[in-house]
Amino acid sequence: MLSEVTATRYVTPLREGGSLPGIVEADDLGTYVMKFTGAGQGRKTLVAEVICGRLGRRLGLRVPELVAIQLDPVIGLGEPDQEVQELLKASGGLNLGMDFLPGSIGFDPLAYEMDPVEAGRVVWFDALINNVDRSWRNPNMLVWHGEPWLIDHGATMIWHHNWPGARASAAKPYDASDHVLAGYGPDVAAAAAELAPRVTEDLLTEVAADVPDEWLVDEPGFDTPDAVRRAYVEALLPRAATVHERITVGERTGRGPSRAPGWLTDHLGPWPHTAQGGTTGQRDQKDGGE
């Protein structure tokens, strides 16, 4: 189970997030980015955050720790924004918290070096969970203490919106052409060799057990929360074994990032940063990261 805390103060909304997550403080003296059960995206977003976030952590990827947060909407009474008020009112009970990384900045592929093996781990993981939301348009990665952290796994496992087709859908290929790390020459074969054997039935069962019952009850087609948990395990387990054969990194569909100042692009060379392009592999010679 996720550890459970109680929200004591609503600090501020994070307006850059489409679901209007908020920063809250809790009775364990922690500060969390809170995702609300009452948000329009629905509770499956929170289920996806838990299963993928906990799975990522168990595989050694950097994902901030997750908790379940009890919310009494009364803590938002002083909040002037009506949209926030309504979100809090609709979200009494258990919500999701992600450890807040103070001072983190958004990941920029033009300003950060990463070796193909590390990039491969992230791309392979995103392929496993069908993450369509780690593109150069919306990286959903933060840099904190010089290291990249993965956030926002709400838009993954698209098949959980249509359980009868889940097995077939989970067998589909993954197009990583627009992935924020596509330009680093991700070594997905090495990642698969390292990570796929670790995605066992036991591990997936443990990860699914972290999802609170409240977000799984009354799922159409299932009698119990455990039956829903089982369906996640059964979709992810076969995918882990073979997904690397079905990852494509082709031509990106857009122009790609273009915000870097000239001095930086001169240093990094043209996008994509392949080993030949001169950025990957340099990390050892420098401090690394931002």
Ligand X SMILES: Nc1ncnc2c1ncn2[C@@H]1O[C@H](COP(=O)(O)OP(=O)(O)OP(=O)(O)O)[C@@H](O)[C@H]1O
State how far the Cα of 108 lies from the Cα of 290, in Å rounded to an integer: 10
22-26 and 4-13 strand pairing? antiparallel
Angle, in degrees to the nearest 10, between helices 225-242 and 201-209: 140
Taking the alpha carbons at both ends of the chain, their separation in whole angstroms is 35
Among 152, 178, 210, 219, binds Mg ion (CB under 5 A): 152
Q: Read off the tokens for 104.
A: 């983190």
- Write down the least CB distance from residue 234 to ligand X, Å: 26
* CB-nearer residue toward ligand X: 12 or 242: 12
State how far the Cα of 289 lies from the Cα of 109, in Å rounded to an integer: 11
By the rule CB under 6 A, 98 interacts with ligand X? yes
Among 37, 104, 135, 279, binds ligand X (CB under 6 A): 104
144 to 173: interface string for ligand X, x by CB under 6 A: -------xx-x-------------------
Task: Number of helices (H) and strands (E) in the chain: give both, helices first.
Answer: 8, 10
For residue 111, the partner it binds in ligand X, Mg ion, none, with Cβ less than 5 to 8 A by kind, is none
State how far the Cα of 268 lies from the Cα of 118, in Å rounded to an integer: 18
105 to 144: interface string for Mg ion, x by CB under 5 A: -----------------------------------x----
State how far the Cα of 49 lies from the Cα of 271, in Å rounded to an integer: 31
For residue 79, the partner it binds in Mg ion, ligand X, none, with Cβ less than 5 to 8 A by kind, is none
Residue numbers at the binding site for ligand X (CB under 6 A): 14, 16-19, 21, 33, 64, 98-101, 104, 138, 140, 142, 151-152, 154
Residue numbers at the binding site for Mg ion (CB under 5 A): 140, 152
